[in-house]
Amino acid sequence: MGQTVAGYVPILLFFLLAAGLGAVMLLLGVLVRPSRPNPAKKLPYECGNIPVGDARVQIRSRYFLFAMLLVIFDVEVVFLFPWAVNLRALGLFGFVEMMIFLGILLLGYAYLWRNGGLDWD
């Protein structure tokens, strides 16, 4: 066995141990737990109220647009602050890279605006 392959043996053993331990725990859970099936246990529970209608509702894409807007704002702030602090050290290369990054973010804003993600109605 080569030096390179021998370095991966502890990692392989760790993964095998983790998979084996997970399988043993699941098997112990199946063997030890009590099994008393009851139709009431299969009903959906909503704070003690009997559920009305189907629990599976179709979510509008508007929620996706709100999530995308949140991610764009978060990513922008996370990258803009350190860039602004180190702008002189980064020079022209850092400035051009940030302009490319802001251009990509502007494409995201344009997509949101086009699809109504910035409307408050």
pLDDT along the chain (121 residues), means of 10: 80 96 95 86 70 72 76 81 88 91 86 76 61
Q: State residue 69's pLDDT score.
A: 79
Q: State residue 34's pLDDT score.
A: 87
3-state secondary structure (DSSP) of residue 53: coil
Q: Which residues of 70-82 are buried (b: 16+ CB within 10 A; e: fewer)?
A: eebeeeeeeeeee
Name 68's Cβ contacts closer than 8 Å, sequence gap at least 6: 108, 111, 112, 117
What burial class does residue 92 get, using C-beta atoms within 10 Å of its C-beta: 0-12 exposed, 13-18 middle, 19+ buried? exposed
Residue type, 46: E
Q: State residue 53's pLDDT score.
A: 72
Q: State residue 120's pLDDT score.
A: 67
Give the containing element (helix H, strand E) for 9: helix 9-32
Q: State residue 65's pLDDT score.
A: 73
